[in-house]
Amino acid sequence: MKNNGILDARTLACYIKEYYKTNFKKEDISPLKLQKALYFCFAYWGGFARLMKTNKNEIEKEYNEILFPNTIEAWVYGPVVPDVYHETNLEKYKKINPFKDNFVKEYINGILNDVLAANDFKLVEVSHQDKCWKKNFKPNSKFHNCVIPPEEIISEYAKL
């Protein structure tokens, strides 16, 4: 499994923010919804890319399972990408089209259409059902910042 990722999570976050503004609310996305969108994009893409690789289906190209290499942590309201959460100037990561492959972009857009239409706390509820979040969330921890290994996320979503 390649671990350098298709793009940086901060670049994807800029794309998601613009996608949300253009296609949904015409306003800024909430930090919570942005974090869940990043997580579900990572998870569903990784699971899909793994299945494509193992099933050798009609798509000939082999894709990187890692959508972005940035760390994902188990926080109280679900998975969070700290690099995005703590970034004070996301705009410096903005690119007109961050995707080098149109297939990846269209797949991510499909995920975003579902995720961004959902209520913020419904997304929290859904992410709290994931075994990888449950395993790595430590309720008695002071900081709630345990890393969720990418392999755990991808393996779980490849089984869906």
Could you read off the pLDDT of 53-73 as tens digits, one per residue?
Answer: 877 666 667 889 999 999 999
Tokens of 64: 């990187």
- 5 has a pLDDT exceeding 90: yes
CA angle centred on 59, ends 115 and 36, rounded to 5°:
15
pLDDT tens digits, one per residue of 112-136: 999 999 999 999 999 999 999 999 9
pTM of the entire predicted model:
0.93
Contact between 84 and 132 (Cβ < 8 Å): no
Q: Which of 127, 117, 154 is nearest to 20 (CA)?
A: 117
Are 39 and 78 spatial neighbours (Cβ–Cβ below 8 Å)? Answer: yes
SS3 17: helix
Q: Which amino acid is at 110?
A: G
Q: What is the mean pLDDT of residues 3-10?
A: 91
What is the enclosing helix (H) or strand (E) of 78?
strand 78-80
Q: Is the dihedral of CA 65, 130, 81, 108 positive or negative?
A: positive
